[in-house]
Amino acid sequence: MTRKLKRPPATPEPYWEPLPRQRLTPVQVLLICARHGVPLAGLWLPGGSPENFLLLSVFNLAVSIAAIAVVGVAVSTRQEVGDRGGVDALAALALLAAIGIVAALLLTALFGWVIALIASASADGLWNAALGWSALAIVLAALPEGVMQYRQDMAARLPEETRKRRDQPVVGGLLLCGGLILVLSGYAADAGRVGVVGMAIVVTALFLFRDLRPDLMRELTRPSHRPPG
């Protein structure tokens, strides 16, 4: 009789380590809700349109990805060079913020070019005042979140590899949301007013869930690790 060998239990990849539930302050919750509420509110504000909502949603994701990269660079640089005074710190912060905004715009162009083509064919065109003011509001709402994350990482003295393992699944979740927006953008023009509003509410709810409960979002996007055979 052949003895059946037991397979060792599957071990999840290190960067899929579960996250503890984060206790957000009321200010953090308010900033998150305000940031994701801007594209949704644009559907009812003067000059708002479904194309604006989709472009702002992609820009919102791009800002999140750029902020992760900028905070990572800022923390690593500070850990290497140390404290060089308040003036140097403010100059470095302003430079990194400018780089982050440029990176967010490039990512928006990369992932939102299909939506941009749809918007350019609309009555309002690709660029309008409502789109510009809404994008500025998203950036202003995201800045305090980035500063708070920077301070938390500096206080925790996390090494670079640990921060990368923590941030990789977050970026994966953001890209997953970006793919959902691209799929929905193909139906936005023919969905009608009710369909567009319903789509916008679903997307906004997904974004809020992702940022208010990142621990649950991590579990939902974690791949299953099953032994082969």
Q: H/E element holding 109?
A: helix 86-120
Residue type, 150: Y
* pLDDT bucket at 3, cuts 50 / 70 / 90: low
Say yes or no to pLDDT of 46 above 90: no
Q: What is the pLDDT of residues 91-132, one digit of tens each?
A: 777 787 888 889 899 988 888 888 888 777 777 677 788 888
The half-sphere exposure of 69 on its side-chain side, counting CA atoms within 13 A, is 17
- Of 176, 180, 165, the residue nearest 64 (C-alpha): 176
d(CA 111, CA 101): 15
- The whole-number pLDDT of residue 137 equals 92
Dihedral pair phi/psi, residue 51, rounded to 5°: -65, -40
Burial readout 45-80 (b: 16 or more C-beta within 10 A, e: otherwise): eeebbbbbbbbbbbbbbbbbbbbbbbbbebbeebee
Amino acid at 204: T
* Separation CA 36–CA 211 (nearest Å): 10
Burial of 83 (0-12, 13-18, 19+ CB in 10 A): exposed
- pLDDT value of position 162: 82
Please write the tens of the pLDDT for every residue from 50-104.
888 888 999 999 999 999 988 888 888 887 877 666 666 677 777 878 888 898 9
Asked if 108 and 59 count as a contact pair (C-beta separation under 8 A), the reply is yes
29, HSE (Cβ side, Cα atoms, 13 Å): 7
Mean pLDDT (the chain, rounded): 78
